[in-house]
Structure 1
């Protein structure tokens, strides 16, 4: 394997700050394990490893702001001899981040790496990254918080409980983080509008049948297992993308690369401000219950800044929905290097012609932004028509 480098977590990323190692020299790592936490303009991201190996050395200093491609660690394949030459030196930081920069809001991953246990931080208190981040943001002394995690470690819920009775003492840090995210969004969207020849098509779709079927299905389920209309929209979009390939993939180096699977990006509005679009892998293969669970999971982890690097880089098409309340329609800007974005307005009850009659029906406006280098109105129209067709028979989704 060799040198493990700072990954690119988006077209707009130039550098990231290494804030935590989740492994140590001598640890065995496997594909999908979290090895580090890196703070970017999009928040704290858990960095995954994509090959099996053994950690030979950690080559980057905590707190260093490193450019994309900078060496982070040396990881050898099992049984491989260490390099004869000295390993890469500790990377020179682009910008050293001092103690005033809060640790990231990220918790241990759902499938923990071999480093497993929560380790004491600089404070000497065992705490998860998310707990340390929130404590720093709210000015809470971790030593004063009673931990409920393994071995008495302080976890996010402990700090949230303490924060509910403690006034925020560092609002400027939150404002600074939001400002940085806004800069990242602005840079990505400026690049998108400058480089991608957008065109848009809109279609108002009757979703009465989908809503009625969902109401009947949900009536038999406990609240935790119920499915929202948005999950049907996502599943229909994923199936349509699998059928109309020109909407699903990336445009790089002056050519379109169709994707082998549909990794559906979910645009998530963050509570403090900003937007992020992590992806649901192979969304077209998921059952509706699985789609709903995946959406809930992504939204919760995005707002807690606990996303994985692969979730930010694997998207092949993004859907941005306003939910059940809001504006009738919106027009989205494509996330490069993707080639399409579907924006869904809030469903509204409107007079609608059904056969020879006019009756109230629930309808929603679907607006597709597409890259004219890859597709034209014919393919975009096929995509929206396929979504319409699928939503008329929701039981088949």
Structure 2
């Protein structure tokens, strides 16, 4: 038996509210299946399970606020023996033996003969078991008008039949309470709570992490020329954006310098099992979120472009999955479309590094001893000095520049 707990959807998350279950006990699930919806101050997230199995028990109910690491459900892996389910029928206790009634301490006085002989009004005979009671036509019509089931009434007419008077005297039917429809998970977010969460995470980062910063200026001329040629063969909806080149170059550089791709946990660096890059997305109405695109280094550029469009759309619509929030191993923030020349990024714990890119702008640049105008980009790195140093960071920045100068390698 294995346990599925409330995942941490960010360093600033303390607990989450279970909005709804998508599965039930006995459901078979596969890795990546959505099993629940959880709401945090960043909005509602679909919680997906991390391996195959069968849900054995749901341990939290809709509406419960569960702390990070708190038990949500138990499940059985394919090779595990299922837990012995308790019987749905409780064990029956032996029937009690009727005790003999004790003799009364005092004898009751005899009932007078007159009282015993007093005539009693005859009770209307009850209909036989399985026999429907008789209902007079007038009573049936009136019962239909009042919404009463006449066959549930006790008749006072001949042979126990239900009369019009019985229907008129019956209490009005009680309408069943209509339960309000279940609340749909909130797909938006609370800007004030999100700002508090971001402030808590960034304060922790600047307080706990010894940052060091590096930056370089990259000539984007070769990359933009390659991009123009590539996009010329595609319809507008499938064309690539420069951001995709930055993402892919970052992912390949992390493959060369894996010391920056991982987490600082319990005083040690733990490398990530894949290059899962969190892309910082500004949300409408304020706020910021950085869900992951998985295995960026293995994606071809058109596939990566589709993944980026999908991620941004779902982030702003409130349709992200928990796996996209729990395992970004590195973050990229790009503010070029906001007119920013350069970025000095802050690490999102427990990650150990973050890259920032400014806008691509034409500036004077020296080429072969001559001053010329080139499209330039400032790339920055913020890294954790506990996990790496300037030498490692320098190798990473140099790898990004080398890849962007030779875009065919992307």
| Common fold: TM-score over 0.5 | yes
Secondary structure of 2:345's counterpart equals coil
Q: Spell out the pairing of 1:95-106 with structure 2 (5 A cutoff).
A: none
State the match for 1:298 in structure 2. 311
**Structure 2 gap segments, 5+ residues each:** 88-178
Query: Are 1:27 and 2:27 matched, yes or no?
Result: yes
1:310 to 323, 327, 332: 323
State the match for 2:248 in structure 1. 235
Aligned residues: 319
State the match for 1:320 in structure 2. 333
State the match for 1:51 in structure 2. 51
Q: Residues of 2 paired with 1:315 and 1:77: CA distance?
A: 26
Contact 1:331 1:368 in 2 (8 A): yes
The Cα shift of 1:53 comes to 2.2
Q: Residues of 1 paired with 2:402 and 2:29: CA distance?
A: 45
Query: Are 1:283 and 2:296 matched, yes or no?
Result: yes
Q: Spell out the pairing of 1:182-197 with structure 2 (5 A cutoff).
A: 182-197=195-210
Q: CA RMSD, aligned part only?
A: 2.1
Contact 1:230 1:323 in 2 (8 A): no
Deviations 1:128-151 (A, max 9, x none): x5xx646xx8xxxxxxxxxxxxxx
Q: Spell out the pairing of 1:118-133 with structure 2 (5 A cutoff).
A: 123-124=180-181, 133=186
The Cα shift of 1:206 comes to 0.6
Contact 1:325 1:347 in 2 (8 A): no
Contact 2:39 2:186 in 1 (8 A): no
**Structure 1 gap segments, 5+ residues each:** 87-121, 138-173
The Cα shift of 1:54 comes to 2.1
The Cα shift of 1:333 comes to 0.5
Alignment CA distance shift 1:81-1:201 (3 Å) = closer
Q: Residues of 2 paired with 1:220 and 1:254: CA distance?
A: 50
The Cα shift of 1:260 comes to 3.2
The Cα shift of 1:83 comes to 4.5
Deviations 1:275-331 (A, max 9, x none): 111111111111111111111111111111111111111111110001344110111
2:279 to 259, 266, 272: 266
Contact 1:6 1:66 in 2 (8 A): yes
TM-score (norm 1): 0.76
1:337 to 350, 355, 378: 350
State the match for 2:40 in structure 1. 40
The Cα shift of 1:80 comes to 3.5
Contact 1:204 1:366 in 2 (8 A): yes
